[in-house]
Amino acid sequence: MAPPIAPRRTPKTVCVVDVSSPLGGAIVDRLLHLGYSVHAASFSRGDSSTAAWRESKRVRVFAADPLDYHSIAAAIRGCSGVFYTYDNESFYDLWHALAKTLSEKTAWALAMDRGIDMISVNAGLILAGADLRSSPYLKGAPEMYEGGVLVTAKLEFLVDAHICVFESADAYGRYLCFNHTVCRPQDAVDFARLLSPTTPNPPPSAGLSVIQERIHSKKLTKLMFEFGAGLQAAE
């Protein structure tokens, strides 16, 4: 477990897109706690109108459209960084994993072409929201479980990861982000009950084997530990 991230001493202004998502709103909360000023861009997928962070004098809210360049440019103008958390699944009929892969590939190509310092954080199933069963991440879940790559990420941990890769001078490239792998029969049972509490008791699983884990997040774990330790040493 990485040490907790302490408040910054040099506040900056950053932009968060899209703040109507659970992840976007949580990142805004954390940034304000760390002393940042925030441009909060909302695509109005959810209802963030009652969010406590809207009352902060260090927040400017922007109505934006993912297909309108000028609305995005207005939100990020004057910012030293952008946290882009928007999931544009509503615009495409592609399989979720394929859509995410193609989107990230395009973003990397543009970033390298235009000299933008970009870092991507690729999370497992985010444990946030009212109905996890509707998450497109779950399409192919049985195959992911059998392949040892079905993973979940708690919202607070994912927020910590975003802050860490933004503030750490050693961060680069792509990071896989999760803090639990579903690889044992009991893990699968607990996961099913998380999605649907009324799931009936399964038959005994004593004879079932543990799935070999084929995914890891060592790169992120190492970065978060070293970054947190560095902050504590500087205090």
Q: How far apart are CA 125 and CA 100, in angstroms?
A: 13
The answer to whether residues 164 and 223 touch, using CB atoms and an 8 Å cutoff, is yes
β-strand pairing of 119-123 with 180-181: unpaired
Phi, psi of 64 (to 5 degrees): -130, 165
Using alpha carbons, select from 63, 58, 71 the residue that is nearest to residue 19: 63
Residue 139 annotated as catalytic: no
CA distance 171 to 164: 8
Retrieve residue 146's tokens.
């059998």
Please pick, among 12, 57, 100, 105, the residue that the annotation labels catalytic. Answer: 100
Q: Which residues are catalytic?
A: 100
